[in-house]
Amino acid sequence: MKIAFVIRLFNPEIGGVEGVARSLASGLAAKGHDVHVFTSERAECGIDGVTIHRVNGWQFSSIAKTLSFPYFAKKAIRQQGGFDIVHAFSRMAGADIYRLADPPQAAHLNRNYQGFKRVFTKLSLRNRTILGLERKTYQNYQTTLVTNSYRTRRDLERFCAVEGSRVSVIRNGVNTERFHPGLREIHRAPILNELGIPKDARVLLFMGNDFRRKGLAQTVQVLDTLQKQAIGEQALHLIVVGLERSPQFRKDVKDRGLKPIVHFMGRCKNSERFYGAADVFILPTREDPFANTILESLACGVPVITTRTNGAGEILESKLEGTVVASADDCDAMATAALDLFNTPDVVKVRDACRNRATQYSWDQAVAHYEALYTEHLQQPTVKPPTNLKDIHYLDPAIHSAFNKSESVFSAIMDLSGDSKRSIDRRETLRLEIDGQAYFLKKHRGVGWNEIIKNLGSLKRPIVSARTEWVGIQQLEALGISTLSPVGFGERGCNPAEIHSFLMTRELEGMVKLSVIHEQIDQLPATQTTLIRRSLIIAVAKLAKRFHEAGCAHSDFYLCHFMVQDRDWSLFQEGDTLDLHLIDLHRMHRYRSLPLSKQVKEIGALFFSATHLQLTKAEQDLFIQNYENSATNPQLWKQVWKRITHLVASKKRLLKKRPA
């Protein structure tokens, strides 16, 4: 096949998608394909069978580069002619294959910005340009989309209204000849000697160029936690490899007194030698489609610690290979995982497991997957996009199939009826069943200008759409906090007073609200009741801690919005998992840092909703201990108790006014 690659930069030293494109081009050329690369890069290719075509775009601004490169690349491809497949790695509408290098821009903006800030950010010229390019690409049903993780495919489904059947997941490959366990014998002793690290030290490795997103601050926190714990007589050191853009991280290391055991190496070409020096690789990234460093580390026989927001974590199947923690902010969990890996009794077994996992993702296998995809694409018939999905932002295939004969799926869902659970003004919550599965449907039919003005007048953020809860669900998932599972979201209109929208979620089956769980556990023996209460308090405190540290405010932070899987509580034992779900996020808001006043309101509301449980002083202290996990903040808790007293007094006044 004659294949055209379109990628703005084709420099293997950059890493990421550039390295992927280069390895794929080399593999395809080795199998006899005629590969042409259209790029703005001036560097020589150096790969037999690969031809470089330099595309001259506009360079005077980032927007000009974003717009001009695909335009001139398509022009150059037409002039060259005769290509069987046009495979784009940079944003370009009209390609046969588009392999996403980053999460969709819509997912990034919705996950990291909220409220007016998200609106204004989306309105920036750069973001409007990128969103427009992506929209054109995704709406072209003749383009096959490729991601390297199921996480990114889910982002396309939820934020870009792309059907999952249109997306192929092909993992990145790894050069198993360059990255191998033998590097330990070659490089460990020289590197440790160069850095002044004891031979028997335990070595953590962090590698990445974007320190903030990749989680260096959290890595330093993990190191600090490990230093304060008893980890044996062996020394502990951290090696940091990557481009350093801010002195803040060195300052943090110095302030914590960790400077002697943290080694900043900068960007290095021969990164594989550092895997040879490491015992554990750590990457608590906040957002990564698929970090190649995970595969490289495994190929070298080094176990990994990463986050659920890293698509590469999906390939881990055994604790011998490493640990995937729920959130980049869960430093305690990462410290525990690191200790477990350091103290593993069978190091050889761990290294073999890591190596075996990596060999399942060689570049030969990746090239074979792409060859099969090219052949399938050339044979597929012309596909017409559905015409009934206007105003639908996300729809689970099971729901779509139930309404595929409707002229407008949005209208059909908004017209659904069911068991009404709540109805306030123009908002309604229904419970209904579709094909035997229970769902909850929240419908918003425009709040009206009076409601918006009333909210703004009282300095409250008006809730004009189901989008607030939709975005909240995505943000909680990114934080590793369990919540509702959405199956559909739609929004129609731009007038904030008249926006119609819906959010449909699966019913949480077999779960019970924490506000009523006492009715079950109070019937048990006193020792069992105490154990369950303490375990639930710790779980709630840790969830609240993670939620608030991320800058999130629920605004209705009551026990009735916490749910846990029901069970035979008489069999509950200390250490059993309690996976709490936080629901009803329609008023959730995320700040850069949660203001103290909001934190007081949140915790005050939580304690107020638990007054009927009559928490003991010891139980209150247990919550505080697990919520703060450090020195108690007297100012915070003084205001919290004052807030609770105010809420209790208000409730008593309301009860007195209520007619008999």
Q: How many helices (H) and strands (E) does the chain have?
A: 24, 24
- The torsion angle over the Cα atoms of residues 451, 456, 458 and 463, rounded to 10 degrees, is 60
Amino acid at position 636, single letter = L
pLDDT value of position 101? 85
The C-alpha angle 482, 484, 485, rounded to 5 degrees, equals: 105
Calpha distance 596→642 (Å, rounded): 14
pLDDT value of position 191? 94
The C-alpha angle 208, 211, 213, rounded to 5 degrees, equals: 95
Active site residue 556: yes
Calpha distance 261→206 (Å, rounded): 13
Amino acid at position 553, single letter = A
* Terminal C-alpha separation, the chain: 83
Tell which residue, 101, 90, 85, has the closest CA to residue 172. Answer: 101
Characterize the bridge pairing of strands 144-147 and 167-169: parallel
Amino acid at position 220, single letter = V
| Cα-trace Rg, the chain | 27
Calpha distance 146→100 (Å, rounded): 6
pLDDT value of position 355? 96
Six-digit token pair at 565? 């899987």
Domains of the chain: 2-169 (3.40.50.2000), 183-359 (3.40.50.2000), 392-506 (3.30.200.20), 511-654 (1.10.510.10)
Please state, in angstroms and as integers, the Cα–Cα distance from residue 407 to each residue in 141, 247, 411, 490, following that order.
Answer: 20, 57, 8, 15
Six-digit token pair at 36? 């042409």
CB 582 within 8 A of CB 552: no
CB atoms within 10 A of CB 53: 16
CB 178 within 8 A of CB 202: no
Calpha distance 392→376 (Å, rounded): 29
pLDDT value of position 127? 84
pLDDT value of position 270? 86
CB 547 within 8 A of CB 471: no
pLDDT value of position 533? 95
CB 96 within 8 A of CB 159: no
DSSP state of 179: S
Which one is catalytic: 34, 224, 352, 556? 556
pLDDT value of position 193? 94
Widest distance between CA atoms in the chain: 89
CB 134 within 8 A of CB 156: no
Please state, in angstroms and as integers, the Cα–Cα distance from residue 255 to each residue in 196, 203, 226, 250, 645, following that order.
Answer: 21, 21, 16, 9, 39
- The torsion angle over the Cα atoms of residues 22, 27, 30 and 35, rounded to 10 degrees, is -50
Give the model confidence (pLDDT) of 420-431 as tens digits. Answer: 999 887 899 999
CA dihedral (46, 33, 167, 105) positive or negative: positive
CA dihedral (359, 361, 363, 367) positive or negative: positive
512 beta partners: 564
Calpha distance 285→325 (Å, rounded): 11
pLDDT value of position 68? 87
Calpha distance 606→556 (Å, rounded): 9
Calpha distance 512→371 (Å, rounded): 49
Q: How would you write 192-214 as a 3-class SS string?
A: HHHHCCCCCCEEEEEECCCHHHH
Residues in the chain: 660
Six-digit token pair at 328? 């980049």
Report mean pLDDT in 10-residue bins for the chain, 660 residues: 90 74 92 92 76 84 83 91 92 91 85 68 81 88 92 90 89 93 94 92 92 92 85 80 84 89 88 94 93 95 94 92 90 92 91 95 94 92 78 87 88 93 89 93 92 85 90 88 94 91 94 92 93 95 92 94 94 90 93 90 94 92 84 81 88 66
pLDDT value of position 657? 64
Calpha distance 406→411 (Å, rounded): 9
Six-digit token pair at 281? 């690789």
pLDDT value of position 655? 64
Calpha distance 94→75 (Å, rounded): 12
Q: How far is CA 52 from the centre of its chain?
A: 36
Give the model confidence (pLDDT) of 257-281 as tens digits. Answer: 899 999 999 888 888 999 999 999 9
Ordered DSSP codes for 247-302: THHHHHHHHTT-GGGEEEEES-S-THHHHHH-SEEEE--SSBS--HHHHHHHHTT-
pLDDT value of position 632? 66
DSSP state of 433: E
